[in-house]
Structures are given as structure tokens and as C-alpha cells.
Structure 1
Amino acid sequence: MKHILIPTDFSSNSWNALEYALNLLTNERCLFYILHVDELRNSDIQGNSLMVMTSPKRISAKENLQLLLKKISNLPSNALHQFIALEEYGNLIDLVRKTVEEKRIDLIVMGTKGASGIKASIIGSNTGNIITRIACNVLVIPENTIIKNPIKIGFPTDFNLFYTYPILNSLTEILEISNAKLEVIHVTQSKPNFSNTQVINQAYLHDYLKELFTENHSFNHILGKNVRDSILNYIEENKIEMLTMVAKNLNLFQQVFFNNSVEELSHQTSIPLLVMHE
């Protein structure tokens, strides 16, 4: 059984992420943990009873979670899926990390808000921090994502990183679950002049994919002055419906997803992004 964590702020973005995950994992036995993290000041501990009396009644996180579970129950039933609601107060990153460890989470699914079209937008700081600071695979679902299984998954790589078992296993799982074709994307400013390390890593990945997904993968070398723009153009022109990258490949990851400032983590807004951790 897969353990899936879905942080929620009860927004339409987080609901879209939940629906995407349920659709993608339709045929998988899953335990979904629906986690809401609120500020400490909104916990049951109130320092001033008079303030509580004079303030408008606030719908509690527990009540919102109950409403969310009821909304989930109105979706088409799936005997393979179970749901547990979690209510926490404090720092989001610390509590997500704690939940990942205690519940042995396999995948975090998060919604994010963005602009329309191919234009890049800033991923919410919470999502960006979870991607970069928590060692767990993260599937980011932009608000404009159409809920359907991807037919083509793009995998940008510079072949500088050795593909360890966790990375290859994550690739295998998403390809088997979606039955999608994997398109390996390598961008270079001139004719590829690979180092020995790159040659070995590319050959290793090629042999692995050829053995397991003979007809469902391709290697694509693109000439382009700007790595980020070249990848985004490839996604648009080839109708890529999910992007996956290795978090450890910081050099390429920053070229594609970071703007001038490291804090400005950006992502093309209409397709999901799967960030794989070792």
C-alpha cells in the first residue's frame, strides 16, 4: 500500500491536487493522509477568553477537515483508497517532515497557484520549501492542470548525475501507473560533447529504459541557447503532460526552475511536476 500525503489549506488548488492524485492512483492501494497545518494562535488554547467571546465564530480546522472528508465521500467510491485527516498546529515544513517520517510517506501531492498558458509563475513558498527541504518525492499540481493521466512525461537531464535505484524506481512507478511514454530531454548550446561521466550515465539510463520500456521511451537532444526556454518550448510543442526531475541535480534544477533569485522557484503552470528524491 502506498502512503500519500496531501497538505491542504481547503483551497480549490489543494482540492484539484487531491482529485488529480485520486485519478492518477485509481488502480493503486493507497492510504491518503489529508494534512492541514494551522497557526499556533488558532489552536484550542486561547489566551484571552473575552477575545473569544467578542470575535466572530471561526470554522475550526477540525470542522473544515470533516467537511473535506464528506466532500471526498461524494466522489465515485474506490475500495482501494482510504483516507485519514490530520490536524496540526505550528510550522508547516517541520510538521510535513514529521508526518513523512512517522507515516512513512511515499509521495507528497501539493496544489499550487499560477498564471495561465506556458508562462512561468512563482511556486508558493510553502511548496518550494517542501520540494527543496524535505527528502520525499513531491508531485506539484498547478491550478490549471486537467485531471487526466499523462500520455507523455518529460524528463530533462544533463546526464551528470548517476541514476540510483530510488530514482529509477520512481521513474518506473510513474510510468507503470500512468502507462505514459518517457521523453528524455537534453539541451545543449552546441553539438553535445559529453564527458566520460555523462557518456556512462546516458548509456546506463538508455539500457535501463530499453529493457523495461522498449517502446515507451525516447532520447531527445535539443540545441538551444537557453536551457529553461528550450525545455518549456519542447513541452509545449510536444504536448508533454507531466515533467519529472531529480532534486539532487541542483545545477539543472536551478537553470529550469529558479529565476534570478534562489527564492523565486518557478514552474510552467499547466502541467504537473514530479520532483524525485533519493
Structure 2
Amino acid sequence: MKNILLPTDFSDNSWNAIQYAIELFKDEKCNFFLLNTYTPMIYNLEYTSRFGLVEVMRDISKKNINDIQQRIESKFKNPNHNYNQISSFNTLTNEIQQLHEGNVMDLIVMGTKGATGLGEILFGSNTVHVIKSAKCPVLAIPSDFIFEPPNEILFPSDYDVSFNENRVKQIIDIAVTHNSRINILNVSDGYELSDEQEENKQKLAKLFKNVTHLFHSVNNESVTGAISEFQLSRQINLLVMINNKHSFFENLFFKSKINQIGFHLNTPFLVIPSGTKKN
């Protein structure tokens, strides 16, 4: 069974991501873990213990998680899905690290704050921290994004990653389940691929041999511009990237202002860490 972590702060945004995950994996057997972490804004253990603040926050967290599970089970009656509740006095990133060490999850699905204007932050800070630190794939769902099957997947790559089955397993699983087409996009800088890049491209072709896929090469001075143009020219339902340290990833997604990078994220975004391994 797939083990999927669903962090929630009980906002509409996190509820939207939960619904997306349930729809995406409706035909697969899954263990979903509903996670809420809580810490006082000003944390002093002696103070919070004396006044029972931790216990109050724990009780509120547990009640709200239970309410979320009841809401899910009343709306989505799916015998393929089991639900577990985790309420933890911890930071989100620390809790995720501990859960990963315990082999609790294969994938994290969480919401983003969305980006509706030039002054908006691309991702909420929690999402950024999780993507940067998580050792398993993270699927970020834009706020208010209504579920649609991922028929067209966009997978930009510079072919500087040595691909293997573990690194692309999540992509293949989604493509097989939803009969998706994977569009591999390489942004050319005017030079031919190196021997190593060509070898990595051929590895990718072999890994994707059982799913529909197309290789695209475009000339563009800006990787972000190429992605945006490709998304406009096709109905892309899911964007996927491997977060390897030598890629354009951090420059692309961790700038704070949209006008600094000229990129609007309006589709679900799957980030795969380069060190992804099977649990």
C-alpha cells in the first residue's frame, strides 16, 4: 500500500490538497496519515507546562484532526483508503524528518498559498521548508486548484541527473494509473548534449518504455520562460522536477517574488529529491 502524508493546518488550502490526494489515488490502496503539528508562538517549556498550554493545543489539534477524518469519510467512501491521525508537539519539518526515519511515508501531499500577483509569495513558507528538506517526494497543490486527472505531465530536465527506477517511480506510477503522457522538456542553450547527458536521456527513455512519453527540445534563454510557454501550448495537469543540487531548481522556485522569476505556478507540482530511495 502507498503511505501518503497529509499535513494540515485545518485551512481551506490544506483541505483542498487533501481532497486532491484522495482523488488522485482513488483507485489505489493507500494509508493516509493526517498530520498536524503545533507549537506555541512563544515557546518556553516551563511556562507552557505550568499553564497547561501544550495540553490545550494537543486537545484542539486532536479534535480538529478527528473532524477532518470524519469529513473525509463522509464525502469519500473509498474502501481502498485507510486513515491514521498524528498530532504532534513539534515543528513540521522536524516531524516529517522523524516520520521519514521511521519509514512512515512514501509521498507528502500539501497545499501552497498560491500566487495571484507580483507581490505574492510563490509558496507558503512551510511548503518551501518541506520541499527543501524532505527526503521523499513532495506534491504541492496550488490553492483553489480543482482536481483534474493528470493526463499531461510536464517533466523538464537538463539530463544532468543519472536516472534510475527509484527516482522516477512516482512519475511512472501516476502515469500508469491515469494513462498519462509524460512530456520531457529540455531547454537548449544552443549546444549539443554532452555524451553524459545523451546517456542519461537514453536511460530515461528505457525507464519510461511502458508509458506514453515524448521528448521535446526548445531554444529559450530562460528555463522558466520555456516551461511557461509549454504549459500555455498544452493542457499540462502536473509539473514534475527532480531537485538535484546542480539544477536550476532553487533559483527557479525559491525566489520570494514572482516578478523576480517571471513564473506562475498554477498546476500541481511534484518535487522529487535526487536522493530518493525505496523505503
Partners of 1:233 and 1:217 in 2: how far apart?
19
Partners of 1:256 and 1:185 in 2: how far apart?
15
Deviation of 1:110 (Å)? 0.6
**Shift in CA distance, 21/260, structure 1 to aligned 2, threshold 3 Å:** closer
Partners of 2:67 and 2:14 in 1: how far apart?
14
Match of 2:88 in 1: 88
The number of aligned residues is 268
Which shows bigger deviation, 219-228 or 40-49? 40-49
1:5 aligns with 2:5: yes
Match of 1:47 in 2: 50
Partners of 2:177 and 2:118 in 1: how far apart?
26
Match of 2:210 in 1: 212
Match of 1:28 in 2: 28
Partners of 2:79 and 2:30 in 1: how far apart?
10
**Shift in CA distance, 74/266, structure 1 to aligned 2, threshold 3 Å:** farther
Which shows bigger deviation, 138-147 or 20-29? 138-147
SS of the equivalent of 1:74 reads helix
**Shift in CA distance, 90/260, structure 1 to aligned 2, threshold 3 Å:** closer
Match of 1:253 in 2: 249
Match of 2:173 in 1: 173
Instruction: Answer whether contact 2:157 2:184 (CA < 8 A) is retained.
Output: yes
Residues 129-167 of structure 1: per-residue CA shift (max 9 Å, x gap): 111112011110011312121110000000111102211
Match of 1:199 in 2: 198
Match of 2:223 in 1: 227
Instruction: Answer whether contact 1:31 1:82 (CA < 8 A) is retained.
Output: yes
Deviation of 1:106 (Å)? 0.6
**Shift in CA distance, 16/128, structure 1 to aligned 2, threshold 3 Å:** same
SS of the equivalent of 2:128 reads helix
Instruction: Answer whether contact 1:118 1:269 (CA < 8 A) is retained.
Output: no
Instruction: Answer whether contact 2:107 2:136 (CA < 8 A) is retained.
Output: yes
Partners of 1:203 and 1:38 in 2: how far apart?
46
Partners of 2:116 and 2:222 in 1: how far apart?
22
Deviation of 1:252 (Å)? 2.5
Instruction: Answer whether contact 1:123 1:267 (CA < 8 A) is retained.
Output: no
Partners of 1:59 and 1:266 in 2: how far apart?
43
**Shift in CA distance, 135/42, structure 1 to aligned 2, threshold 3 Å:** same
Instruction: Answer whether contact 2:141 2:267 (CA < 8 A) is retained.
Output: yes
1:110 aligns with 2:110: yes
TM-score (norm 1): 0.86
Partners of 1:105 and 1:179 in 2: how far apart?
24
Residues 11-47 of structure 1: per-residue CA shift (max 9 Å, x gap): 0111011000000000110010000000055999542
**Shift in CA distance, 58/102, structure 1 to aligned 2, threshold 3 Å:** closer
SS of the equivalent of 1:251 reads coil
Alignment of 1:21-170 (within 5 A): 21-40=21-40, 46-48=49-51, 60-116=60-116, 121-170=121-170
- Identical amino acids, percent of aligned pairs: 29
Partners of 2:81 and 2:263 in 1: how far apart?
30
Which shows bigger deviation, 237-246 or 250-259? 250-259
Deviation of 1:168 (Å)? 2.8
Instruction: Answer whether contact 1:118 1:236 (CA < 8 A) is retained.
Output: no
Given candidates 269, 272, 278, the residue that maps to 1:273 is 269
Instruction: Answer whether contact 1:117 1:270 (CA < 8 A) is retained.
Output: no
Instruction: Answer whether contact 1:155 1:185 (CA < 8 A) is retained.
Output: yes
Deviation of 1:100 (Å)? 2.4
Which shows bigger deviation, 110-119 or 179-188? 110-119
Letter matched to residue 201 of structure 1: N
Which shows bigger deviation, 78-87 or 160-169? 160-169
Instruction: Answer whether contact 1:61 1:87 (CA < 8 A) is retained.
Output: yes
Instruction: Answer whether contact 1:123 1:266 (CA < 8 A) is retained.
Output: no
**Shift in CA distance, 117/74, structure 1 to aligned 2, threshold 3 Å:** farther
**Shift in CA distance, 74/117, structure 1 to aligned 2, threshold 3 Å:** farther
Partners of 1:266 and 1:97 in 2: how far apart?
32
Instruction: Answer whether contact 2:159 2:201 (CA < 8 A) is retained.
Output: yes
